[in-house]
Structure 1
Amino acid sequence: MADDKALKDDSQVVAALGAAEKHHDGALGRLFDWLRIPSISTDPAYAESCREAGSWLVRELEELGFEVSLRETPGHPVVLGHYRGEAGGEKRPHVMFYGHYDVQPVDPLELWQEPPFEPRIATIPFDRKVIVARGAADDKGQVMTFIEACRAWKAATGTLPVDVTVLVEGAEEDGSKHLPEFVEANRAELAADLALVCDTTMWNSMTPAITISLRGLVYCEVVVRAADRDLHSGMFGGAARNPIHVLSRIIADLHDENGAVTLAGFYDGVAEPPADVRAQWEKLGLTPKKYLGPIGLSEPAGERDRMLIEQIQSRPTCDANGIIAGYTGEGTKTVIPSQASCKVSFRLVGDQDPEAVAAAFRAHVEARIPADCSVEIIEHKGSRAIALPYDMPALDAAREALADEWGREPVVIGNGGSIPIVGDFKRTLGLDSLLIGFGLDDDRVHSPNEKYDLVSFYKGTCSWVRVLAALAKRGV
């Protein structure tokens, strides 16, 4: 908890923060109980464990006074709960909190220092205390920061400062396959003023962040075919078309010498960040040495006229994700393959249209296919980017609340990844989302020995205490 001098003169906030601090040990025990449930959504063998994890959360929310139930979907069930306080005849601000209770598989198991569903406290360099378990950061620990903030408010004041809907799904790690249709089918029940999402990261271990944008995605596979069989390169080399060469040209021509993507109209809908936000990014001093050095690299490969932080947050990208062609086994086999394939992804920003980008990519590929080759292009479902208004009142409220807790201004950033359901919240429910998370880049999310800093857990809870109060004061 921050020093009293940093607190706003609000006795209820002070009381709720005190309750959160008093119950830290109990909160940790509750999180450990949840982490012990192996809710791996992608493996059918763990279907009952997923249901158990959802049921566990239902009981916790019932204890806090929520009207809550486990809702069925064609996949894993959704936890949906509502808390409505007394408003004295006036409409109270209403937020919807989203998270997920499912976790990634644990493979390779042999790389875990301890069993992945036996949570423990460990000490890592610089005397950092961390929670180690699958799901500690993604997303059970993050969800629990919000639940424990609600618990603190109830303990201190007997109520919550805003009305709250909690929507926690069980299949985020399996693509949230059925959640969009669930949101559509329950539009009336999910009505709110604002969505809150806790599945993102901080800027660093002591600097909070609010994610203002999420990249969208276009994903395609390309298969180039030539001869009706693999050919002996000594007999046919120089005469027969080589699909690897054709595919290599397609990939190479996707970028120009300055790192920009060459597709026609690719940058349509890409907006510049406000000058004050860009200035804030410059002050962060994200250098290639800091960002790329730890992974053994030194030179940014994106657009040369852009800061590195822009390349990873606010600019669209194109990457080849895999190439399959020819003989790749041990030893030699001198063949010209009959086909070559690759997987290509585009991360989108702003108002870029996934369908337009996919069409431009198709045109790019087809223009480079020789007469004696054929091509198949497989387009997977795309998603639009999410860009939230920089001037929305809720953003200002959250910035003030986080600054009070952490003692420094939060960074407003973009996220290079995608959380597609946030787009559904906007399109289906008309809700903007505040994405406030307390994860760190070294949390080993999706990897063995996943961890979540105790500071992130404890101060994350206090942060939500303050954010809820700030949203109540602003009327969201």
Structure 2
Amino acid sequence: MSYETYFQNKREQHLDELKQFLTIPSVSALSEHKKDMIDAAKWVAAKLETAGLEKVEIIPTGGHPIVYAEHIQAPGKPTVLVYGHYDVQPVDPLHLWETPPFEPSIRDGKLYARGATDDKGQLFLHVKAIEALLDQENKLPVNVKFCIEGEEEISSPNLPAFMKDNADKLAADVVLISDTSLLAKGKPAISTGLRGLCSLEVTIATANTDLHSGTFGGGVPNALHALVSLLASLHDGQGRVAIDGFYEGVPELSSDMREEFLKQDHDDEQLRANLGLEALYGEEGYSFVERTGARPTLELNGVYGGFQGEGTKTVIPKEAHAKITCRLVGDQDPARILDRIAAHLESHVMPGARLVIKRGEQARAFNMDPSHPMLQKAADAYEQVYGTRALFTKDGGSIPIVETFSRILQAPVVMMGFGLPDENLHAPNEHFNLDNFDKGLLTIVAFLKQL
């Protein structure tokens, strides 16, 4: 029986099973869902056992458990470590969901539920692909390990230590992850880069109390004025970050990489119109996809202070705040970037204002050479199923654990995503296009057989 026929015959059963998985409200960020997290880990472990995996374990951590399984019966063949996560984002705002987020429903060829595309649906594909190979051939073409966590949506606080302590257990020739998307319908992509991340919160403090602007205005520092002036100094007129040393470790785009970006055939004008913008904005000399995939950024995510209510309150606020994140590329060191931002802010703060900086997340960028044989085989597998070869892209988002896998296990990471960019991951009405559910199963089987 062909794999196409096998999966067609099993489709309704597989979708029913996935719906069961999606009913579990495994929201890792909320303590009220701790039992749901355990239930989700048990569900994954049970499905791995049913699929034919061995040595299935639910491993406790300081937070939510890790599920491990393996099938090591192909001597001399490569070992593939499949990574995914069973936790999901919170569902707020609930009133914007057309159907309840943990009551999966299919509409217009799309499966709607929280976690449908990020990442339960995509993880499920790997379990069923392995099950199909064992059912059809009574063996796997490669050795396989699974490492499934429940904390990806909260920056994987416990997985790096687990990886270091269990590097031999997790050792593999390639790490396989499906937690990204195609470029567009029918246009597969393999991400060869994810930007790193660092964040900070800035507080400007002036007087020991808010002051009347009639009595004190023009004679004392205003925290909002000081903050706005400080934030304005972070970029120059050409869209570059104006912090000394910020671009250290940023590679210049090669002609080959720029050619890959051009192949995406991105319509900047259509994007501008869709977003209702008068113009796009960014670092001069780079296209939109280059700016968002291969260049570093510094963005303001929140600026607040002073009176926020209805009407007027003539107050000079005693403090003002800003939240800042940077996306990093190449060899940029997030700790050094935060040092340089702090030095810049301290040297530019207005007289009479005090600066307080609270540092947040730190993650390095991930990069892979698209010529690596594992990535080339993945592109071949997409072509076999989708009829068009995957393009190699660099994604603007950050999945910090990907760089950690690459560094600790010293293995190439192949990111074979089957979502679409408009599937509302992290937002209301998250969904998974079932055309890519079907093709994803076949593509994973093709990739494992090619290895």
Under TM normalisation by the shorter chain, which class is it? over 0.9
Q: What is the Cα deviation at residue 21 of structure 1? A: 3.5
CA distance in 1, matches of 2:160, 2:264: 36
1:99 is aligned to 84
Given that residues 201 and 439 in structure 1 are in contact (C-alpha distance below 8 angstroms), is that contact kept between their aligned partners in structure 2?
Answer: yes
Given that residues 230 and 338 in structure 1 are in contact (C-alpha distance below 8 angstroms), is that contact kept between their aligned partners in structure 2?
Answer: yes
**Equivalent position amino acid for 1:53 in 2:** A
CA distance in 2, matches of 1:86, 1:323: 56
1:50 is aligned to 37
Match runs of 1:72-83 below 5 Å: 72-83=60-71
Given that residues 19 and 155 in structure 1 are in contact (C-alpha distance below 8 angstroms), is that contact kept between their aligned partners in structure 2?
Answer: no
CA distance in 1, matches of 2:17, 2:267: 40
Given that residues 102 and 169 in structure 1 are in contact (C-alpha distance below 8 angstroms), is that contact kept between their aligned partners in structure 2?
Answer: yes
Per-residue CA shift, 1:432-467, capped at 9, x if unaligned? Answer: 211111111111111221110001111111111111
CA distance in 1, matches of 2:272, 2:167: 43
CA distance in 1, matches of 2:354, 2:100: 50
1:10 is aligned to none
CA distance in 2, matches of 1:272, 1:360: 21
2:133 corresponds to 1:153: yes
Q: What is the Cα deviation at residue 23 of structure 1? A: 2.1
2:345 corresponds to 1:365: yes
TM-score (norm 2): 0.96
Match runs of 1:33-432 below 5 Å: 33-67=20-54, 68-87=56-75, 91-123=76-108, 129-432=109-412
CA distance in 1, matches of 2:318, 2:31: 37
Q: What is the Cα deviation at residue 241 of structure 1? A: 1.2
Q: What is the Cα deviation at residue 17 of structure 1? A: 4.3
Q: What is the Cα deviation at residue 97 of structure 1? A: 0.6
Q: CA RMSD in A?
A: 1.5
CA distance in 2, matches of 1:399, 1:311: 24
CA distance in 2, matches of 1:62, 1:116: 27
Range 456-465 or range 276-285, more displaced: 276-285
Given that residues 202 and 356 in structure 2 are in contact (C-alpha distance below 8 angstroms), is that contact kept between their aligned partners in structure 1?
Answer: yes
CA distance in 1, matches of 2:213, 2:299: 30
Q: What is the Cα deviation at residue 363 of structure 1? A: 1.2
SS in 1 for 2:111: strand
CA distance in 2, matches of 1:228, 1:33: 56
> Given the alignment, which residue of 17, 29, 38 partners 1:30?
17
CA distance in 2, matches of 1:273, 1:401: 27
**Equivalent position amino acid for 1:180 in 2:** P
1:5 is aligned to none
Range 43-52 or range 133-142, more displaced: 43-52
The gaps in structure 2 that reach 5 residues or longer are none
CA distance in 2, matches of 1:22, 1:160: 21
Per-residue CA shift, 1:315-340, capped at 9, x if unaligned? Answer: 11110111121111111111111111
Change (3 A) 1:166 1:292: farther
Q: What is the Cα deviation at residue 65 of structure 1? A: 2.0
TM-score (norm 1): 0.91
**Equivalent position amino acid for 2:359 in 1:** E
Per-residue CA shift, 1:114-159, capped at 9, x if unaligned? Answer: 2222211101xxxxx1001111111110001111111221122111
SS in 2 for 1:352: coil
Q: What is the Cα deviation at residue 230 of structure 1? A: 1.2
Range 206-215 or range 46-55, more displaced: 46-55
Given that residues 183 and 264 in structure 2 are in contact (C-alpha distance below 8 angstroms), is that contact kept between their aligned partners in structure 1?
Answer: no
**Equivalent position amino acid for 2:345 in 1:** V
2:413 is aligned to 433
**Equivalent position amino acid for 1:118 in 2:** E
CA distance in 1, matches of 2:100, 2:212: 51
Q: What is the Cα deviation at residue 393 of structure 1? A: 1.0
CA distance in 2, matches of 1:430, 1:327: 52
**Equivalent position amino acid for 1:145 in 2:** L
CA distance in 1, matches of 2:402, 2:419: 18
Given that residues 287 and 308 in structure 1 are in contact (C-alpha distance below 8 angstroms), is that contact kept between their aligned partners in structure 2?
Answer: no
Q: What is the Cα deviation at residue 174 of structure 1? A: 2.3
> Given the alignment, which residue of 8, 21, 46 partners 2:8?
21
SS in 2 for 1:264: coil
CA distance in 2, matches of 1:291, 1:212: 23
CA distance in 2, matches of 1:86, 1:438: 27
Change (3 A) 1:451 1:21: same
**Equivalent position amino acid for 2:338 in 1:** A
Given that residues 263 and 391 in structure 2 are in contact (C-alpha distance below 8 angstroms), is that contact kept between their aligned partners in structure 1?
Answer: no
CA distance in 2, matches of 1:76, 1:446: 20
SS in 1 for 2:168: coil
**Equivalent position amino acid for 2:105 in 1:** R
CA distance in 1, matches of 2:272, 2:150: 34
The gaps in structure 1 that reach 5 residues or longer are 1-13, 124-128
**Equivalent position amino acid for 1:233 in 2:** S
Per-residue CA shift, 1:245-291, capped at 9, x if unaligned? Answer: 12112211111111111111111111134323311322332132332
CA distance in 2, matches of 1:98, 1:293: 37
SS in 1 for 2:362: coil
